[in-house]
Amino acid sequence: MRLKKKVKTRGVVLAIVFLVLGFMVAYSFRVTQGEKSNQPITDRQWEQNLRLRDELNEQKERNRDLQKELNEKQEMVRDYESQLADEAQVYFNLAEDAEKYRMFLGKVKVKGEGVKVTLSDGEYNPDEPNINNYLVHEHHVYKVITELYISGAAAVAINGHRLTHNSYILCDGPVITVDGQQYPAPFEITAIGDPKVLSSALNITGGVKDQLVNDQIIFSLQEENKIVMDPVNVKK
């Protein structure tokens, strides 16, 4: 019984000793670390710190310069893009104008909605001795063509013969000659353009239609959804 008590007491003592020893070691380690941290920085370390700080400041300054240069380059790119867009618009407008000129000159095939005007000789009137008074003449055709162009027609043809800027029309008895080719009545005038506008222009009171009807010409007008005209000098 006494032996067991002595062993138990000895174990307690040893535990206390080891606890105190551990505390002393820990305390000694902390003191040593504190002394090391409080040691003064050497000249070499100070110079190294200064050098690193200067390099950092230089890098920051370089980054600011690069950012400024990048902003300037981006602005230049935007200017170039704007100039290219303007040039592209100019080229687009030139190409569009060239296409319009080719169309007016009859160099390209065109199609679109428009109107068809048919002019026929008036019915025979035994009371009218002069037959020319109810025949379609070139001035009747000219009136229709002129009104169509004024109203915005992009292309005009007579009996399928497409007109150009230097076309001519002559009257030769019951036929008319268009650019050297003869066509008998009835004369079918087709025009590509806004059908509503073209029709309104021809049907206006006192306008072309009324004038031709007064000359005993049979006038017919139709709006067309699709009219096709081949280039000039291309025969079907």
pLDDT in tens, 72-112: 887 888 887 788 777 777 777 777 666 666 666 666 788 89
Look at residues 87, 104, 121 and tell me which one is the last residue of a structural domain. 104
Instruction: State the Cα–Cα distance between residues 220 and 120, nearest whole angstrom.
Output: 8
> Is 16 within a domain?
no
> Are residues 121 and 204 both part of a single domain?
yes
> Are residues 94 and 123 both part of a single domain?
no
Query: Which positions ≥6 away from 178 have C-beta within 8 Å?
Result: 158, 159, 161, 163, 167, 168, 169
44 against 33, higher pLDDT: 44
pLDDT in tens, 106-152: 667 888 999 999 999 887 666 666 666 778 889 999 999 999 999 99
> Are residues 95 and 51 both part of a single domain?
yes
> Are residues 198 and 180 both part of a single domain?
yes
Q: What is the CATH number of the domain that holds 212?
A: 3.30.70.1880
pTM of the model: 0.57
> Is 19 within a domain?
no
> Is 14 within a domain?
no
> Is 69 within a domain?
yes
> Is 20 within a domain?
no
> Are residues 73 and 99 both part of a single domain?
yes
> Are residues 126 and 164 both part of a single domain?
yes
> Are residues 134 and 67 both part of a single domain?
no
> Are residues 70 and 169 both part of a single domain?
no
226 against 95, higher pLDDT: 226
> Are residues 92 and 130 both part of a single domain?
no
> Are residues 95 and 164 both part of a single domain?
no
Instruction: State the Cα–Cα distance between residues 167 and 162, nearest whole angstrom.
Output: 9
Domain residue limits at 171: 111-229
pLDDT in tens, 146-177: 999 999 998 999 999 999 888 889 887 778 89
134, 95 in Cβ contact below 8 A? no
